[in-house]
Amino acid sequence: MSQSQLIIGLHAVRTALKHGDAVTGVRVEARRRDGRIKEILGLARQGGVDVIQVERAELDALSRGENHQGVVAFTQAPAVRDEGYLKRLLEGLDSAPFLLVLDGVQDPHNLGACLRTADAAGIHAVITPRDRSVGLTPVACKVASGAAETVPFVQVTNLVRTLKWLQEQGIWLIGTVGEAEAGLYQADLKGPLAIIMGGEGKGMRRLTREQCDALVHMPMLGAVESLNVSVATGVCLFEALRQRISD
């Protein structure tokens, strides 16, 4: 059975009600009557979701110090998909696959930010290894602001084996490493594509790197040597999106 999770704040609750199908209940501050709360009440009513008005102190206790903005929601944890789902997903696409692979991201804040960016860029699925990677924790889901419900999250047992299978399906694997000779902006990112980002600290593992069809780097003109993985993911995905919509 799926575990229940708490969604906190106006934007996160609104997104869950609009795009998720697992919201089981909403709690709103009894004294709130503004337009944003009314919108959430309307969305809940449309979805048949129970709404209970409570005092602010109850919301404070539920959110444990986070800024709830007068509303929280209870929801079933987003689904974690497997290799079988990924195969069915690719078979059903009517456009070139556009995937994000996260090799060993362990910080839930980074995962949540990557999911949010993946949703904005039109990624078909986010793929991670089952081991040594963070999953869809409550923190990751909160940071994702609803993207954990809209972007399929696939955990695989053997990442290298999955990458080999993706190549067999005609998907080009682009890895990102600082020492690569080719630059991100010179790479062709228009066709069937999986962009692979390494985890915090060590980056991509050796076997993952060796499986890539090409490696690219992002230009860095300042003193720092690398970007946070979620920031780097945003740069890469939106360069790919720019190329993919420019035709």
Summarize the annotated binding site for S-adenosyl-L-methionine as residue ranges.
198, 227
Q: Which two tokens stand for residue 66?
A: 């986070």
Tokens 């694997």 belong to residue: 173
Rounded Cα gap, residues 231 and 186, in angstroms: 19
Beta bridge partners of 25: 74
Q: Do the Cβ atoms of 230 and 110 come closer than 8 Å?
A: yes
Q: Do the Cβ atoms of 196 and 205 come closer than 8 Å?
A: no
| Alpha-carbon distances of 219 from 11, 102, 162, 179, rounded to whole Å | 34, 20, 29, 11
Closest by CA to 174, choosing from 187, 161, 165, is 187
Question: What's the pTM value of the predicted model, to 2 decimals?
Answer: 0.78
Summarize the annotated binding site as residue ranges.
198, 227
All structural domains of the chain, each given as residue ranges with its CATH number in brackets, are 4-76 (3.30.1330.30), 80-244 (3.40.1280.10)
Rounded Cα gap, residues 209 and 88, in angstroms: 26
pLDDT (tens, 9 = 90+) of the chain, 247 residues, equals 345 678 888 888 888 888 755 788 999 999 888 999 999 999 999 989 999 999 999 999 988 878 899 999 888 777 889 999 999 999 999 999 999 999 999 999 999 999 999 999 999 999 999 998 999 887 888 788 878 888 999 999 999 999 999 999 999 999 999 888 999 999 999 999 999 999 887 889 999 999 999 999 988 788 777 788 999 999 999 999 999 998 6
Q: Which DSSP state fits 75?
A: E
